[in-house]
Structure 1
């Protein structure tokens, strides 16, 4: 006589008793993968954004910051790039017009991530940072307390 599998035995438990098998109910759809990152890292970022809502970190802010930073440093041509100040830096959405704000967001989310997703995002950011340093000029007038990406020569305002 064949033996019943353990899963089949657990499935026949009484209806009121909790099942030992792990069933997952999804209230929200699975978040989409962030381009350039693995599904695991994307999921970790979405979880952190959901848990740590604030001015810099909110749902979709990392993806938007990564896209903005990538678009800035991969601008076609060899000319020098100049970051521009956002016209409305007080708005969480408009602040992304300034690529330095996008880099601020990426810097703020890194320590909130678990080790492996943090390492993957850090590698991606490091590649973009090298391009940023190569395509921008240093600005000696910036206070030394500002992050290094603010120490680049900027011009005017961007947006509207």
Structure 2
């Protein structure tokens, strides 16, 4: 007597008889990160909204850091944002953008955090090489990227 294959038996007992479909399109991919890390970042941005972390903040902060570190050899001087109290405008300051990336990195699961950390390590190396240390900056109060020489504010 012929037997039914195990896959044929399980097909009738499926918990999801109707194929799953998405109600919304997938979130946009963050340049330089894998799809899995991008999804993890979007989950973190949606789950933990605050001043530094909001939907799209990681992508904007990475673009801002990359735009600040244009190729060249001249020293770069970060500028304070013209409107630092607005979450979107605060990312105009590369130091605030790096704060946002550090906060997202802290909240990510281990594997996506490792991938984002490797991207940030490359950016941090270029940032440290192109900016100058501020001898007057307090060493213990802020992250190391705040202790670099800056000039004025954006748009002033």
TM-score between both structures, scaled by the size of structure 2: 0.89
C-alpha separation between the residues in 2 aligned to 1:2 and 1:21? 28
Aligned to 1:112: 107
Q: Which runs of 5+ in 2 are unaligned?
A: none
Structure 1 residue runs of 4+, over 6 Å off?
none
Alpha-carbon separation, structure 1, partners of 2:58 and 2:155: 20
The superposition leaves residues 93-137 of structure 1 with CA deviations (integer Å, 9 ceiling, x where unpaired) of: 111110000000001011111101000000000000000000000
Counterpart in 2 of 1:40?
36
Asked whether 1:140 is paired with 2:131, we answer no
CA distance, structure 1, for counterparts of residue 74 and residue 142 of structure 2: 25
With over 3 angstroms needed to count, the CA separation of the structure-2 counterparts of 1:24 and 1:149, relative to structure 1, is same
* Aligned residue in 2 for 1:16: none
Contact 1:10–1:20 (Cα < 8 Å) also in 2 = no
- Rounded Cα–Cα distance in structure 2 between residues aligned with 1:61 and 1:5: 50
Give SS of 1:157's match: coil
CA RMSD, 1 decimal: 2.0
TM-superposition CA deviations, 1:51-109 (whole Å, max 9, x none): 11111101110011011111111x13211000000010011111111000000000101
CA distance in 1, matches of 2:114, 2:12: 44
Q: Paired residue for 1:149?
A: 145
CA distance in 2 between counterparts of 1:79 and 1:2 reads 78
State the Cα distance separating 1:5 from its structure 2 match.
4.7
Shift in Å, 1:151: 0.4
Out of 64, 76, 89, which is 1:81 matched to?
A: 76
Q: Tell me, which stretches of 5 or more residues in structure 1 are unaligned?
A: 14-18
SS in 1 for 2:59: helix
Distance 2:29 2:37 in 1: 8
* Rounded Cα–Cα distance in structure 2 between residues aligned with 1:65 and 1:115: 21
- 2: distance between equivalents of 1:87 and 1:147? 21
Provide TM-score, normalisation by structure 1. 0.87
Give the 3-state SS of the residue equivalent to 2:85 in structure 1.
coil
CA drift at 1:32: 1.9
